[in-house]
Amino acid sequence: MNMKKILAIILALVMMTAAFSACGNTEAEPNAPETSAEDTEAAPETPEETPEQPAESATVKIASLKGPTTMGMVKMMDDSDNSLLSDTYDVQIFGTADEIVGLLVNGEIDVANVPCNLASVLYKKTEGKIETVGINTLGVLYILAASEEPFETVEDLRGKTIYSTGKGTTPEYVLNYILTSNGIDPTADVNIEYLSEATEVAAKMSESTDAIAVLPQPYVTVAMTQNENLRIVFDLTEEWEKIDGTKLVTGVTVARKEFIESNPEALERLITNYTASVDYVNTNTDDAANLVEKYDIVKAPVAKKALPYCNIVFMTGDEMKTNVEKYLTVLYESDPTSVGGELPDEGFYYIPQ
C-alpha cells in the first residue's frame, strides 16, 4: 500500500472520531459557556453543610416540697412526662424538708427546692457543696382576721392575740421582724400563740369570730373556704418590702456543685424550662390548677384560688443574691442557728457569667 492510501485511511478515521464525539454532546445545554482548565481549578469547592447537632439530653433528679415550691414546676413536669423537652426531669415530691436533706447530702438528687434558710444550713453542712440557683417562691405568709375590725397598718395588731405556726422557724422570724420594724415588741405588745401545724391554725380560725392568725398559702385559702368571715388583712411580703425594698423569700432552688460543673448546659436548660413553667402557671391559672391536682399537690379548686397569692417566681443572678442575703441576715440576727451558725459566703450563690 502506497503512502497516499495510508494517509487517506488515517484522515477518514479522524473524521469519524470527531463525528462520534459531536453526537455524544447532543444533550449538553445550548450555548453553554466553555470552561477552561484554569476556570475548573479556580472554582471553590462547596463545603458540605454539617447538620446542627441536638443538645445532649440529661436526666435531672429533683426533690421538691408539696406546696407552692412545686406548683411553679408543674408545667415543666408535665412537658417532661410527655417528652416535649430535651431533658427528663425526675421529680420527687416530699411533705417535709427533712426528707430531702439526706438525699441532697448523699448526692442521690441533683437539684432541690427547699426553704431558703435550710439551703444556708445545707451549705454549711456540706462544706459548700451546693449552690443556690434561684428563688422559686417569695413570701407566702398572710395575716387573717375573722372580725370586721379595720386593720389599716401593722400598728393595729398591737394588743392582739395572734395564732401562728412555725415556732423557731421562718414564720416566727418574719413576724417578729415586721412587728419590730413597726415599733411593736413581739414579746410585750402582742400575744403570739404558736401551734404545731398550719392545719391546727386553720382549724382554730374556722371556729372563731375574732381570731387573728399567720398562715401560709395554700392554707390561707383552705381556712377562708372553711370560714366565710375570714379575710386577708396583711400580706407579709408587702409589709416586708415596705421596710427596705427587698423581697421576702420563702423557697429557693439549689443544685449540687458537682452537677453544676459536670452538666452546665443541663443546668441552663433547667433554668430556662423552670422560668417558662412559672410564666405559664402565673398566666394560665385554670390549666395550672388542673396540673397541680394531677401531681397531687392540692385539689384544683384550692389551687385555682391560691395560685394568685403564692408569689411563685424564678428569680436568678444578682437579684436573687440581693434578696436572699437580706432575708438570711434577718434570720441570722434573730437566731444564728437558723441559717447554719453563720451567713454563707459568695460561693453559696450561682451567678452565671
**Alpha-carbon span 281 to 312, nearest angstrom:** 8
DSSP class of 279? H
Same domain, 270 and 197: no
Domain assignment of residue 52, yes or no: no
Same domain, 227 and 145: yes
Cell 456543685 -> residue = 257
Same domain, 233 and 277: no
pLDDT for 35: 42
pLDDT for 11: 36
Same domain, 132 and 266: yes
- Give residues with Cβ within 8 angstroms of 148, minimum separation 6: none
Biggest CA pair distance of the chain? 140
Helix (H, G, I), strand (E, B) or coil at 351: coil
CATH code of the domain containing 163: 3.40.190.10
Same domain, 151 and 240: yes
Same domain, 267 and 127: yes
Q: Can the peptide bond before residue 30 be classed as cis, meaning omega within 30 degrees of 0? A: no
Of 199, 219, 244, the domain-final residue:
244
Of 244, 261, 287, the domain-final residue:
244
pTM, full prediction: 0.79
Domain assignment of residue 38, yes or no: no
pLDDT for 352: 84
Q: Which domain holds residue 213?
A: 141-244
How many domains does the chain fold into? 2
Same domain, 155 and 133: no
Helix (H, G, I), strand (E, B) or coil at 53: coil
Angle between helices 236-244 and 170-181 (to 10 degrees): 50
Domain assignment of residue 36, yes or no: no
Domain assignment of residue 195, yes or no: yes
Q: Is 211:146 a contact under the CB 8 Å cutoff?
A: yes
pLDDT for 308: 92
Same domain, 155 and 126: no
Q: Is 147:118 a contact under the CB 8 Å cutoff?
A: no
pLDDT for 55: 55
Domain assignment of residue 12, yes or no: no
H helices of the chain, in order, are 3-24, 37-42, 68-71, 74-81, 98-105, 116-125, 170-181, 198-206, 219-226, 236-244, 257-262, 264-283, 285-294, 300-306, 317-334
Same domain, 145 and 240: yes
Cell 423557731 -> residue = 168
Domain assignment of residue 84, yes or no: yes
Q: Is 138:247 a contact under the CB 8 Å cutoff?
A: yes
pLDDT for 20: 36
Distances (CA, A) of 105 to 94, 109, 129, 347, 350: 16, 9, 9, 17, 18
Same domain, 225 and 303: no
Domain assignment of residue 295, yes or no: yes
Angle between helices 116-125 and 317-334 (to 10 degrees): 80
Q: Which residues of the chain have pLDDT under 70?
A: 1-55
- Give residues with Cβ within 8 angstroms of 324, minimum separation 6: 116, 132, 135, 249, 252, 349
Query: Of all helices (H) and strands (E), which one includes residue 95?
Result: none
Same domain, 122 and 148: no
Neighbours of 307 (CB within 10 A): 25
Of 227, 244, 261, the domain-final residue:
244
Domain assignment of residue 213, yes or no: yes
Same domain, 130 and 199: no
